[in-house]
Amino acid sequence: MGGNQGKVMDTMYKAIRILSRKAGPVTRMSSVYKTKAWGPVPQDDFLNKAIVLHTTLSPGLLLKALLETESYFGRKRTVKYGPRTLDLDILFYGHQIVHSSNLSIPHPELHKRRFALVPLVEIVPKFKHPILKSTMEQLLESCEDQLEVTLWK
């Protein structure tokens, strides 16, 4: 989860409470990390964190809950890779592999994104990517993304 507009820390913690009610308990949380934004639009740095959520919702219903939560916090999908109040992604759903018209799990770009791998290494370093068969530590070690990810105070 992450964002770079508004009161990002407040938004993330409120979103965690909402998701705990809508989707299931959050059992692990990483620290918060700051990353420079990239993409076609100049924008503020992002704050990101990873959570482990235990859910009985199907992947599709979990995605619906995430999108509703983003919308509640004012997320507008107008510019790809643009600024956002809240961004929620499903990186993994256990070891399941899902490919549909609106959802791919594991997240197809995860292994290329240091800002996602650093918090994952903090909370699930030995978790193996079900397609790439590498741990989060191994994926971070081989990640070509050079964007600096720093612990946020």
Active site positions, annotated: 75, 84, 87, 89
Under 8 Å between Cβ of 62 and 93: yes
Between CA 11 and CA 47 the distance in angstroms is 11
* Distances, alpha carbon 106 to alpha carbons 15, 44, 93, in Å: 22, 27, 7
Instruction: Count other C-beta atoms under 10 Å from residue 129's C-beta.
Output: 19
Element (H, E) at 119: helix 114-123
Under 8 Å between Cβ of 79 and 41: yes
Tokens of 72: 């509640």
